Structure 1
């Protein structure tokens, strides 16, 4: 009587279906990056979306902290008059020089404005409501779209990555951030109305590339506030992947109360709740961007 040979463990593993992530693509295990031998010049990444409440500031804080955890020297630039990034990292925003002073030229050296944080390897240039007056000030400035680029050029050699947290608009401040950047990361809430504005933002990036910054590229679209329990979240994510393909990152940030809790504590999630899945999601994001070369 003939017998069927038992497949080996390796054979069974090879025959097993590949696990799919929320984006419907096979899950990639991005490796822990190697330590860098030297710093700078930094790659500058703008986190941009003209819709508010999509996770730009949360992503800037937690991506910055995760990159720092992997040995990168990171500068986070608060470029939003609401100053949420500064508050989320627990740094002073009043009675200290801010990004506004650098933009209007009352302070020339960014190193006089940079503050350390409670995260080793992560520094911040703070902002406050004064920044809302910058657009009026910049109207009559020569090469007004390039002012932030000139500011950051002075400290690029001090860092590996510079993250710019943009305000929710496509005004002159956001154009400055895009002109200064090498790449753009678009946090996108998994909600229908958030999806509608992405095409306009991509069009704006194309215009900036054509007219102001030919080197800028889209580093990725990051789905945020995803809730796998709702059909709406799943459908929006499916539509984003259908529309933008590989531009959509594999990492997906799920909705959790831990993010507002960490914000209240003025701490990144990887310090506030280091073993929480949300902390691992941002570590995965850091690894993915490094593997793509966007934050190497």
Structure 2
């Protein structure tokens, strides 16, 4: 139990793949757990990358998964406590996903209150966790809209070696639309620079450009380009287990501290960031 403290739900979103989103979801979730927080990681991608990264290499053999539980919400069927939730050895809990989630995207189109299904699910577990971290698929489809409607805040991982301007603007417009129409409390915790190679001019220039353009919305923490960080997806270990004293692990520890400082209430200077 989380002692009556409200659950904070964070969606990690970027419609571009390959930005370190899943690694960030796992590392932030386990980082928060290492700080004594009760954390539920939610794999909201039918590819099941987060599920595989955390040690379940055959997600299609798992049942029930997120898709099954969302189906129960739609059909108004009861969900048992801890149904479908897996326990990871590093202290976090995981609600896995597999290919069946792709069918849910289609089902949601014709569902009443279709944007709020994931939020309704989270209400059934809210008293057991301090944080829920949602790893969204690389698209702005109905499942991602569900995640944004369920979330208190958004973290946007962005590659430091790829100019993301157009895609980032589209994503910010989507977040603003969800805030306006479906979830007035939604805030952006920050844009997170990933795969940063401080030796390259391009990486430094993109970081500086993002900080100028989105002043106050970019995390101080930057995730460095790291072979060790890339290895965690195949080692089924967190960055903390795999390379405890490495630069990526230290960067994710710093990010965890930043996220915890944001806390349950958005800071005043963040109130105007989604328009």
Query: Normalised by the size of structure 1, how large is the TM-score?
Result: 0.84
Contact 1:46–1:166, Cα closer than 8 Å, also in 2: yes
- Aligned match for 1:182, one of 143, 149, 152: 152
Whether 1:199 and 2:131 are equivalent positions in the alignment is no
**What pairs up with 1:204-223 in 2 under 5 angstroms?**
204-223=174-193
- Greater Rg over alpha carbons, structure: 1
Q: Please name the residue that 1:143 is paired with.
A: 113
Shift of 1:130: 1.1
Contact 2:53–2:236, Cα closer than 8 Å, also in 1: yes
* Unaligned runs of at least 5 residues, structure 2: 267-275
Matched residue SS, 2:215: helix
Contact 1:195–1:236, Cα closer than 8 Å, also in 2: no
Q: Please name the residue that 1:164 is paired with.
A: 134
- Aligned match for 2:71, one of 104, 124, 136: 104
- Aligned match for 2:89, one of 76, 95, 118: 118
Question: Quick one: distance in 2 between partners of 1:70 and 1:127?
Answer: 26
Q: Please name the residue that 2:225 is paired with.
A: 255
Residues 112 and 208 (structure 1), Cα distance of their counterparts in 2 relative to 1, 3 Å cut:
same
Shift of 1:192: 3.1
Question: Quick one: distance in 2 between partners of 1:64 and 1:264?
Answer: 18
Q: Deviations over 1:88-129 (max 9, x none)?
A: 101362142100001122774262111000212x00000011
Contact 1:221–1:247, Cα closer than 8 Å, also in 2: yes
Matched residue SS, 1:96: coil
Q: Please name the residue that 1:45 is paired with.
A: 10
Matched residue SS, 1:61: helix
* Unaligned runs of at least 5 residues, structure 1: 1-35
RMSD: 1.8
Shift of 1:81: 0.6
Contact 2:160–2:195, Cα closer than 8 Å, also in 1: yes
